[in-house]
Amino acid sequence: MLDDTKSNKVLVEVKDLKMHFPIHAGIFKKRVGEVKAVDGISFDIYEGETLGLVGESGCGKSTAGRAILRLYDITEGSVKIDGVEIGDTPQPNLRKMRPTMQMVFQDPQASLNPRMSVAAIIGEPLNEHSDMSKAEKREKVLSLMDQVGLNRDFANRYPHEFSGGQRQRIGIARALALNPKFIVCDEPIAALDVSIQAQVVNLLEDLQEEFGLTYLFISHDLSMVRHIADRVAVMYLGRVVELASRETLFSDPKHPYTQALLSAVPEPDPWLEEKVDRILLEGDVPSPSNPPKGCNFCTRCPQVMEICKTEEPPTVEIAPGHIAACHLYS
Amino acid sequence: MADGAAPVLDVRDLKTVFKTRAGSVHAVNSVSFSLKPGELLGVVGESGSGKSVTMMSLIGLIPSPPAQVTGDGVNFGGIDLLKASDDELRSIRGARIGFVFQDPMTSLNPVFTVGYQIMEPLRKHMGMDKRAARKRAVELLELVGIPDAERRLKDFPHQFSGGMRQRVMIAIALACDPEVLIADEPTTALDVTIQAQILELMHELREKLGMAVIWITHDLGVIAGIADRVLVMYGGQIVEHAPVRELFKHPRHPYTRALLKTVPSVRGEREERLEVIEGQPPILRAEPSSCSFAPRCPFAFEHCLRENPPRFDIGAGHDAACFYDFETGAPRSSATAMAKEEAQLDAG
C-alpha cells in the first residue's frame, strides 16, 4: 500500500461474511437463537500487505480470521483467496488449497502437540502436502528453523523444553513450511512478555519482506497493530466499524468507537499521558446473541442520535480508502 | 525515604525460595522497599520477575512448604508480618490489607452471591450484624460504580461481566477500609475500554479514601498514568526504583531503558523497527552471584559477571542496581559505590 514493493493486487477478498453459531436449549436441543459472532464484514487484503484487525474480546475478530480460512463452515458470504472462491467449497476440496493459506495461533502452548518433536511438528505439513523424500524434508525443516531463529540442534526436542517466544517461533515455522501466500496471525503475541513480543513482531516483519507474505494480523493490542499493520480494520460486535490506512486511523479516527478505543490505550509516557483526552465508554459490550437494534454501538456511543437506535448505519467511504459505518457520516 | 511520614509498610531484605524436588527456585532475592501512606507504588516486571510472589510472601499467602520466606522484617504498623502468627495474619488480611487479584472470575467464589462475599469480611473483621453489613455492601457497590446495587447483591459472579466482577473484587478489598491495598495485575484480563474505566475508578477512590496502594502490572502505560513511585523488578530483584516521572525521563538501569524502548505507542512518532531485548529472562536456580540482566545487557562488562550490583543511590529518591553509570557513560568505580551504599545504610 505505502511502499512501492506492495502491489495493488487483491489477494484476499471478503464479502458480507457472516458466521452465526446456533444456540441450542432444552431436552430436545431446539435451536433457540444464534450468536452473531461475525455479522457481515467485507474487506480486501492486498498482496504483500498486513491488514490489522483490532477489537475487544468477543467482537468476533478471531472468528473472522478462522472463518476466512474456512476453519468454520460459514453462514453466508464469500471469501476469495488468490482468485479462488472458497466460501462454498466443500472441506475435502479445500485441502488442496491449504498450502496457500496458513495460520499462526494465539497460544503456542496449546497449538503444539506436546508428544511430537519440533522437527515432527514443523515437518507435518510437508508429510501431508508434499512428496519430498525423508532427507529433503529434514533439510527443509532445518532451514525453516534457521529462518525463524531456532537453533538447529533443538530439532529433536519437545515443545515443553522451549520458552513461550521460542514456541511461537515453532508455530511460525510450521505455518511457513508450505510456502504460503497468506497467513492469518491470530493474536500471535498476546501470550508473550513485552520483551519477547518485539522479537516475534520483528521476525514476522522480516519474513514478510523475505517471502512477500500477506498477513491478517488479529490483535487487541493497538500499539502493536500500529507498528506492524499497513491498514487497520476495527471491529465491534461482529461488524467492521472503520477501516483505514494506519496513518489515517491512528491520527484521524472517525468512528466514535475507534476514537474511544484509541483514547483508552494507556500511554507509556507520563507527560503525554497527562494530555490524553480520555473518552470513557459507559457499560459493557452487549451480547452478540442479542445485539441492540440499529447501530451495534448505540448503547455505549457518546455521540448517539435518535436514528442510531433504529437504523443500522451503512458503510460509507468518507475519504479514499477510509471507510466507516456511522450515521455521523451518512 | 526523605519526606517525613512514617511508612505504612516497610520491607527489608525479603527472600523467597521455593524448594521442589527438581531443585530450588529463588523467586525473590533481597527485596527492600517501603510504602508511604496514601501513595501509589507501581511494581513493573515481566512474568517470572517475582513481583507477585514478593507481595504474596510478605502477607503470608505463599504456602510453606514448598516456599521459604525469610527476611529482616516486614514492618506493618509495628507488627512484623514475617513473625506474626496465622491468626494475627488472618486478622490483618482483608481488614487492614486488601487484595485485588488478576482474574476476577477465579478469585470470586462461584457458588456464593456477590452480596455474601462482600458481607463476609464486614461481618468477620468489623463484627457487623447482617443488616449493617448489607447496608455497607450496598454503599460499597455504589462506590465502585455498579448500578442498581441493592438488587445486584443477590446475583452470582457469573451474572456479572469481567469489568463488573473486577469492580466487585475492588469493593470486597475496600470493605474494611484497609490502610494498604495490593492490586495484582487488576486490569490485565480486561479490555482497554474497561481498563480505562477501572483506572478512572481507582483515581476517584484514592481521592476519596486515601489508602496506600501497591499496583502490580507489566504494562508501562498503566504505570505512567497511575503511579507515584515505581519499582522495576527483574530476576526476583528490584533493579530500579524512582518517582514515576524521574523513571520515565531518566531511566538508569539498562533493563528499564530497553523496556521503555521496546514498547510501541499509539501516539507520537512511530518507530520503523522495534527495539528488542535479545535473549530470555533468567531462571533463578540459585541466589544471584552476578547481575541477572548481564547476559542480555549491551552495557555489561567484566564486573557485572563477578558481582551482583547493589542498588546505588543516585539522588532524588532514585536508585538503580547497575554498575554502569549512564550519567558519566562509564562504569561506576566500585569503591565509591560501596562507600555510597554504606552511607545509605547508615542514613536509613
Q: Is the pLDDT of residue A72 over 80?
A: yes
Confidence of residue A59 (pLDDT cuts 50, 70, 90): confident
Instruction: Give percent of chain B with pLDDT exceeding 70.
Output: 94
Length of chain A in terms of residues written: 330
Cβ–Cβ gap A227/B264 under 8 Å = yes
**B52: three-class secondary structure by DSSP:** helix
Q: Which cell numbers hold the place of A246?
A: 494506519
In angstroms, the CA B86 to CA B71 distance is 18
The mean per-residue pLDDT over the stretch A67-75 comes to: 91
For position A287, what pLDDT does the model report? 82
- A112-156 tens-digit pLDDT: 999 999 999 999 999 989 889 999 999 999 999 998 988 888 899
Task: Enumerate residues 144 to 183 of chain B having a beta carbon within 8 A of any beta carbon in chain A.
Answer: 161-164
Closest Cα in chain A to B200: A280
Per-residue pLDDT, B2: 44
DSSP bridge partners of B217: B44
- Decide if pLDDT at A8 tops 90: no
A-contacting residues of B 264-293, CB under 8 Å? 264-268, 270-271, 273-278, 280-281
CB B215, CB B226: distance < 8 Å: yes
Q: How many CB atoms neighbour CB A197 within 10 A?
A: 24
Nearest CA among A50, A127, A326, A278 for reference residue B266: A278
Q: Tens of pLDDT along A196-227? A: 888 899 999 999 999 999 999 999 889 899 99
10 Å CB burial of residue B339 (0-12, 13-18, 19+) is: exposed
Domain chopping of chain A, boundaries: 10-329
Does the complex come out with an ipTM higher than 0.90?
Answer: no
Per-residue DSSP letters for B165-182?
A: HHHHHHHHHHTT--SEEE
pLDDT confidence band for B1 (50 / 70 / 90): very low
* CA–CA distance, A200 with A221 (Å, rounded to integer): 14
Residues from chain B contacting residue A165 (CB–CB below 8 Å):
280
The pLDDT assigned to B285 comes to 83
Q: Among all residues of chain A, which has the CA nearest to that of B273?
A: A202
From A193, A202, A268, residue closest to B46, measured CB to CB: A193
Taking the Cβ of residue B194 and every Cβ of chain A, the question of whether any pair is shorter than 8 Å is answered with yes
Nearest CA to B13 out of B77, B67, B64, B58 is that of: B58
Chain B residues in contact with A193 (beta carbon < 8 A): 46-47, 218, 281
Please tell me which of the candidates A201, A222, A260 has its beta carbon nearest to residue B274: A201
| Grid coordinates given for A22 | 446456533
Measured CA to CA, the distance from residue A10 to residue A15 in angstroms comes to: 13
Q: Are A164 and A48 in contact (CB under 8 A)?
A: no
Cis, bond preceding A313 (omega within 30 deg of 0): no
**pLDDT tier at A31 (50, 70, 90 boundaries)?**
confident
CATH number of A10-329: 3.40.50.300
Closest CA to B249 of A270, A100, A108: A270
B26-51: average pLDDT = 90
- The whole-number average pLDDT for the span B162-189 is 87
> Using a CB-CB distance cutoff of 8 angstroms, which residues of chain B are in contact with residue A198?
262, 274-277
pLDDT of residue A5: 45
Map grid coordinates 513511585 to a residue. Answer: B229
- CA–CA separation, A289 vs A284, rounded Å? 14
The confidence band for A20, taking pLDDT boundaries of 50, 70 and 90, is very high
Query: Measured between alpha carbons, how far is A253 from A318 in angstroms, rounded to an integer?
Result: 11
Q: What share of chain B is helix, strand, coil (3-state, %, to 5)?
A: 35, 20, 40
Q: Which of B205, B202, B194 is nearest to B161 (CA)?
A: B194
Collect all residues with Cβ–Cβ distance below 8 Å to A194 and sequence separation of at least 6.
B46, B218, B220, B259, B262, B263
CA distance B51 to chain A (A): 14
Q: Where would I find the H helices in B230-296?
A: 244-249, 254-262
Mean pLDDT for chain A overall = 89
Residue B197, pLDDT score: 84
CB–CB of A227 and B271 under 8 A?
Answer: yes
Asked which of A172-176, A262-266, A286-290, A321-325 is least confident by mean pLDDT, the reply is A286-290
For residue B161, list chain A residues with Cβ-Cβ distance below 8 A: 284
Using CA coordinates, name the residue in chain B closest to A166: B280
Match 560501596 to its residue by C-alpha cell.
B338
Contact: B46, A195; criterion CB under 8 Å: yes
B131–A contact, CB cutoff 8 A: no
What CA–CA distance (Å, rounded) separates B97 from B93? 5
Say whether pLDDT at B189 is over 80. no
The string of pLDDT tens digits covering residues B196-252 is 888 888 888 888 888 899 999 988 889 998 999 999 999 899 999 999 999 998 999
Quick one: which of B325, B327, B320, B323 has its CA closest to B344?
A: B320
H or E segment at A101?
Answer: strand A101-104
- Cβ neighbors of A82 (< 8 A, separation 6 or more) are A11, A12, A100, A181, A182
Is B278's CB within 8 Å of A201's CB? no
**Are A223 and B276 inside 8 Å of each other by CB?**
no
Hey, are the CB atoms on B263 and A194 less than 8 Å from each other? yes
pLDDT band at A109 (very low <50, low <70, confident <90, very high): confident
Peptide bond into B281 cis (omega under 30): no
Q: Does residue A10 have a pLDDT over 70? A: yes
Q: Could you tell me if A196 and A164 are in contact, meaning their C-beta atoms sit under 8 angstroms apart?
A: yes
Q: Searching chain A, which residue's CA lies closest to the CA of residue B48? A: A193
Instruction: In whole angstroms, give the CA distance from residue A131 to residue A213.
Output: 24
d(Cα A49, Cα B59) in Å, to the nearest integer? 51
